[in-house]
A and B are shown apart, each in its own frame.
Chain A
Amino acid sequence: MENQEFIDILHRLVDRGLELGAEYIDVRYEDTVNNRIFMRKGIMEAVTHNRRRGLAIRCIVNGAWGLSSTEVFEWDSLLTALKSAVDMAKASAPARTKRVKLADAEVHRDNVSSSVKIKSTEVDPGEKIKLVLEANDRIKEYGGVIKDSQITYGDVCYRKMFISSEGAEIGIEGFRTIFYVSITAGEAGVLSPAYEVIGGTMGFELFKGDRHLEVAKTASERAIRLLKASLPKGGLATVVLDNRLLGLIVHEAFGHTAEADLVITGDVLTGKIGKKIASDLVTIVDDPGPEHAYGWIPYDDEGVKARRVVIVENGVLKEYMQSRETASILGMNVTGNARAQDYRYAPIVRMRNTYMMPGDWKPEEIIAETKEGYYLKGSMGGQADMNGEFMFVVQEAWRIENGELKEPYRGVTVSGNALDVLMSVDAVGNDLKIDSPGTCGKFQLAPVDGGGPHIRCKIIVGGRR
């Protein structure tokens, strides 16, 4: 962690903020190193190393928030930044109708590191580049049918320090590593895209057992397989969703509407705590904990110990995800969901790792017990809205007939309303997987993860015309 001298300086800064009239003040210091290697069509397009260090000072003065960030750590610069934070709060105070209040949260003094075996900072850049080159060689084995390939390696190492006027002092060191491949296969005028990813809160051990080659193989073979697939008929259908597609729906179409800031603004879950909003089989959590999940956080960016939030339990809406401010407005408990992209931003309510809890069906049984429908796997992106309306592009699909997988389809979209979909769930698998590392962009970027088991539900299936 950072040396004691620097930590003492940050404490002095907090004290000085109180002298300047702040009712509350916190300081977030961050030192982030990331490496990215990107190869497209066999051409090394980017090998980059980036280091950013900075500090955010956030305070409440006259009942209003001010925030100031700086990248210069000499005392005079820190003081200037502090004064700016106070001035910003004063500037916004006259426009506020209600004073900011923070819900109570336990004050912590702690030092935490994410679980890591091989720190990416200690791996030679040549080793990282080698992974990408090897994956590229693997893709080349499939020959000219591969029209486009993009391979990305990324790692992040961050050190954070949080200090508040309430006495918190939390140091966090974390490592994240990700590797993904996008392939476009093409044949006889048909182009089919496919995507595969691995990643998590971990170091270079992610690649143990040559998993990068597995990613290259999976994406390539999927893209090639999809060339032979046909386009489906549209309409409301019974579908079996895999853990990734379910995870996306749970995060994008449902999860955001359970974020307390959006609930306060007014969304589809406003005022619905205690109400039945999904099938009895549905339990959805947002969990900061899974050790290697990409959205792992031990504390949020307000120093609140991050805890598991049971959003839906057996179909009933239980809890929203909160920051200290939203928890105070709603008179609810803090959850540790306030996250900031980096020191240039204020924390806002964000998800961490969001997934549906497993049930007792074996995944193959769900398909075997389905008379007619589709098996839908993975996603290639899409969109969702405040009212739960969504549309996602499915990566791979098969028709199900009398419990058996029949012909494959491509270009499938799913749409509808998240609450209708969750209400229609009638089988939940026992095969929970949290393996959808990615970056969520709700005005700011945040690493998140998610998933769930295989489930069966009803959804509007669309195809290309």
Chain B
Amino acid sequence: MNLVEHAIKYGLKIGADEVHVRYSRSREFSVDLEMNSISRVNYRVGSGLSILLFVDKRIAAAAVSNPSEKSVEEAVEKAYKMARASKPNVNWMGLPDPKPLPKVEGVYDVRLSELEPGEAVEIMKKGLSIVREKGNVNVMQGSLSITVSKVHIGNSRGIDCSEKYTGLNASLVAVAQEARKVGSFAYETYSSRKFDLNIEELAESVAEKALSSLHLKPVESFKGSIVMDYDFSALFFLMLTMAYNGFHVWSGSSPWRNKLGEKVAAERLTIIDDGTLPGGVKSSSFDGEGLPTMRKTIVRNGILEKYINNTYTARLLNMKTTGNAASPLDVSPSNTIVEPGDWKPEEIIGSVKKGLFISRYSGMINVVNGVVSGTVKQAFYIENGVKKYPVKECMISSNLYEMLSNITAIGCETKDKGGIIVPIVKIDNVNIISR
């Protein structure tokens, strides 16, 4: 008997009404960079089992590393004791029944699973030297990690599914320096399910960003356009996922409650959530409660069509699950795709009368009240369609929901920023505040 099955049976035996179990196992190695050098290679193997247990709508969870029959039983007992001591969640309506799962391609890559640490070291060495050749750019941190994992989910209503995955995550963090001036740090990341990392592109890009935070000129405060480069765009649309997350919709913390069928953004905006995307870094055939993942349009041509849900939130909203369970209690986006538009990046810049091209944004994007207020890093001033010079740290201030309506151009190319697949996006009427 496997441990997932054992945990479920043992939980029911000691008095639980329902049991949900997640087992995962992974091996990973990572090549780390620090202080302008390859610093070490790490190798990690580990496994864990977590149990979610329900007694009269009272819910508790327990987890153990390197589970054995004995430690699983102890954890189940612990969860049972905690659940008994807790307060019922009156909204809880039970775990889901099994459903047929889709076949999702490209989540496991044999080549990646066989990659040797020595090869990965060579790749990062190359990345490091490309950045260092730029002269004044230092690599503060970097990492290339390769993970091979397996996830197995089961519940007391008959769900029993498992899948194997591979993953590659690369990052470089660089800082430019000149004389006694230090720039702000720049980062670049890449995630994939397969061995397709282009380290040259990653290194070139991070060095360019780092250098663009030297020789800064201040800008006066003005109201104008911003062009969000891929990282900022990814952050923006990642935060926006909370607005259509069924949990936040139900709890009232999203202003998109009761807005299905209404216009929430400029007509050119279409957002898709797709857990089945071939090779997607957030793709899998089942979600965190073991139900099928799916592709669905959230915003189509500016109209809100759907929320993302798990069984719990779907029932609260009188809807159907969309296969977005992070767990039976939590909802999370899968691959988030912002559909590309028809603007070439240079055309977007060319269309800006007065504005900023922004690589990095650091600050608030508050989904509840819409406040967007924060600092702009690695940004260029644009005037009459021409990128002029990098600007000194300044603030932008606007409202998330107004910004969605003020999208006036969407790039024709997209980049996958760790499961957020976005083009560059132009937004008008944003306050740019000098400080």
A415 touches B395 (CB 8 A): yes
Residues of chain A from 103 to 139 with CB closer than 8 A to chain B in the complex: 124-126, 129, 133
A383 to B88, CA, bound (A): 38
A71 touches B375 (CB 8 A): no
- Our pick among A69, A261, A386 for the contact of B42 (Cβ within 8 Å) is A69
- Our pick among A91, A411, A443, A465 for the contact of B41 (Cβ within 8 Å) is A91
A266 to B138, CA, bound (A): 7
Interface flag for B32 (CB, 8 Å): yes
14 contacts between A and B (CB under 8 A): A44-B59, A46-B61, A46-B329, A47-B86, A49-B79, A89-B41, A129-B87, A191-B369, A344-B44, A385-B185, A386-B185, A391-B375, A464-B373, A465-B433
A391 to B375, CA, bound (A): 7
A421 to B184, CA, bound (A): 18
> What string of 1s and 0s marks CB contacts (under 8 Å) between B184-200 and chain A?
11000000000000000
Chain A residues, Cβ within 8 Å of B78: 49
In the complex with contacts A72-B66, A92-B31, A383-B46 CB distance below 8 A: no
- Our pick among B34, B63, B184, B252 for the contact of A387 (Cβ within 8 Å) is B184
Interface flag for A163 (CB, 8 Å): no
17 other contacts beyond A52-B48, A95-B121, A443-B141, with CB at 8 A cut-off? A48-B60, A50-B64, A51-B63, A68-B44, A91-B117, A92-B117, A95-B124, A125-B81, A125-B82, A129-B82, A148-B253, A191-B368, A261-B34, A268-B182, A329-B35, A383-B374, A386-B184
A414 to B177, CA, bound (A): 26
A346 touches B32 (CB 8 A): yes
Shortest distance from the beta carbon of B424 to any chain A beta carbon, whole Å: 22
Interface flag for B234 (CB, 8 Å): no
- Our pick among A65, A234, A267, A381 for the contact of B175 (Cβ within 8 Å) is A267
A383 to B361, CA, bound (A): 10
Interface residues of A (CB under 8 A from B): 40-41, 43-54, 64-72, 81, 84-85, 87-89, 91-92, 94-98, 124-126, 129, 133, 147-148, 184, 191, 234, 261-262, 264-268, 270, 326, 329, 344-346, 348, 381-383, 385-387, 389, 391, 393, 411, 413, 415-416, 443, 460, 462, 464-465
Chain A residues, Cβ within 8 Å of B364: 381, 393
Shortest distance from the beta carbon of B370 to any chain A beta carbon, whole Å: 10
B40 touches A65 (CB 8 A): yes
In the complex with contacts A96-B37, A266-B177, A346-B32, A47-B47 CB distance below 8 A: no
Chain B residues, Cβ within 8 Å of A66: 40-41, 43
B395 touches A94 (CB 8 A): no
Q: Residue of A at shortest CB range from B57?
A: A44
Q: Residue of A at shortest CB range from B39?
A: A65
A92 to B71, CA, bound (A): 37
- Our pick among B122, B140, B184, B397 for the contact of A265 (Cβ within 8 Å) is B140
Interface flag for B377 (CB, 8 Å): yes
Shortest distance from the beta carbon of A322 to any chain B beta carbon, whole Å: 12
B125 touches A89 (CB 8 A): no
Interface flag for B384 (CB, 8 Å): no
Interface centre among A148, A191, A413 (most CB of B within 10 A): A413
Chain B residues, Cβ within 8 Å of A464: 371, 373, 397
> What string of 1s and 0s marks CB contacts (under 8 Å) between B229-266 and chain A?
00000000000000000000001110000000000000
- Our pick among B251, B377, B435 for the contact of A385 (Cβ within 8 Å) is B377
Interface centre among B47, B88, B373 (most CB of A within 10 A): B373
Chain A residues, Cβ within 8 Å of B177: 266
A329 to B39, CA, bound (A): 13
Chain B residues, Cβ within 8 Å of A71: 45-47, 65-66
- Our pick among A47, A94, A415 for the contact of B121 (Cβ within 8 Å) is A94
Chain A residues, Cβ within 8 Å of B182: 266-268, 270, 386-387
In the complex with contacts A261-B34, A265-B35, A389-B184, A68-B375 CB distance below 8 A: no
Chain B residues, Cβ within 8 Å of A52: 48, 64-65
Q: Residue of A at shortest CB range from B40?
A: A65
B363 touches A391 (CB 8 A): yes
Shortest distance from the beta carbon of A48 to any chain B beta carbon, whole Å: 4
B375 touches A462 (CB 8 A): no
Shortest distance from the beta carbon of B43 to any chain A beta carbon, whole Å: 4
B395 touches A391 (CB 8 A): yes
A265 touches B36 (CB 8 A): yes
In the complex with contacts A43-B89, A69-B45, A95-B122, A389-B375 CB distance below 8 A: yes
Shortest distance from the beta carbon of A342 to any chain B beta carbon, whole Å: 10
A88 touches B117 (CB 8 A): yes
A391 to B435, CA, bound (A): 11
> What string of 1s and 0s marks CB contacts (under 8 Å) between B351-372 and chain A?
0000000000011100011010
A44 to B91, CA, bound (A): 10
A66 to B36, CA, bound (A): 17
Chain B contact patch, size range: 35 or more
- Our pick among B62, B85, B139 for the contact of A50 (Cβ within 8 Å) is B62
- Our pick among B42, B252, B375 for the contact of A147 (Cβ within 8 Å) is B252
Interface flag for B161 (CB, 8 Å): no
Interface flag for B406 (CB, 8 Å): no
- Our pick among B42, B87, B375 for the contact of A88 (Cβ within 8 Å) is B42
B395 touches A97 (CB 8 A): no
A85 to B397, CA, bound (A): 49
In the complex with contacts A71-B66, A462-B395, A346-B40 CB distance below 8 A: yes
Chain B residues, Cβ within 8 Å of A345: 42
Shortest distance from the beta carbon of A414 to any chain B beta carbon, whole Å: 11
B374 touches A348 (CB 8 A): no
Q: Residue of A at shortest CB range from B176?
A: A266
Interface flag for B162 (CB, 8 Å): no
Chain A residues, Cβ within 8 Å of B58: 44
A464 to B399, CA, bound (A): 10
- Our pick among B36, B66, B183, B185 for the contact of A53 (Cβ within 8 Å) is B66
A266 to B46, CA, bound (A): 35
Shortest distance from the beta carbon of B358 to any chain A beta carbon, whole Å: 15
Shortest distance from the beta carbon of B128 to any chain A beta carbon, whole Å: 8
Chain B residues, Cβ within 8 Å of A51: 63-65, 71, 75
Interface flag for B429 (CB, 8 Å): no
A68 to B43, CA, bound (A): 4
Interface flag for B393 (CB, 8 Å): yes
A265 touches B369 (CB 8 A): no
A464 to B124, CA, bound (A): 43
Shortest distance from the beta carbon of A311 to any chain B beta carbon, whole Å: 18
A376 to B5, CA, bound (A): 55
A67 to B35, CA, bound (A): 18
Interface flag for B100 (CB, 8 Å): no
A88 to B31, CA, bound (A): 9
A462 touches B433 (CB 8 A): yes
Shortest distance from the beta carbon of A55 to any chain B beta carbon, whole Å: 11
Interface flag for B389 (CB, 8 Å): no
In the complex with contacts A48-B63, A413-B373, A387-B183 CB distance below 8 A: yes
In the complex with contacts A54-B65, A129-B87, A69-B140 CB distance below 8 A: no
A262 touches B29 (CB 8 A): no
B125 touches A69 (CB 8 A): no
Residues of chain B from 197 to 249 with CB closer than 8 A to chain A in the complex: none
Interface flag for B427 (CB, 8 Å): no
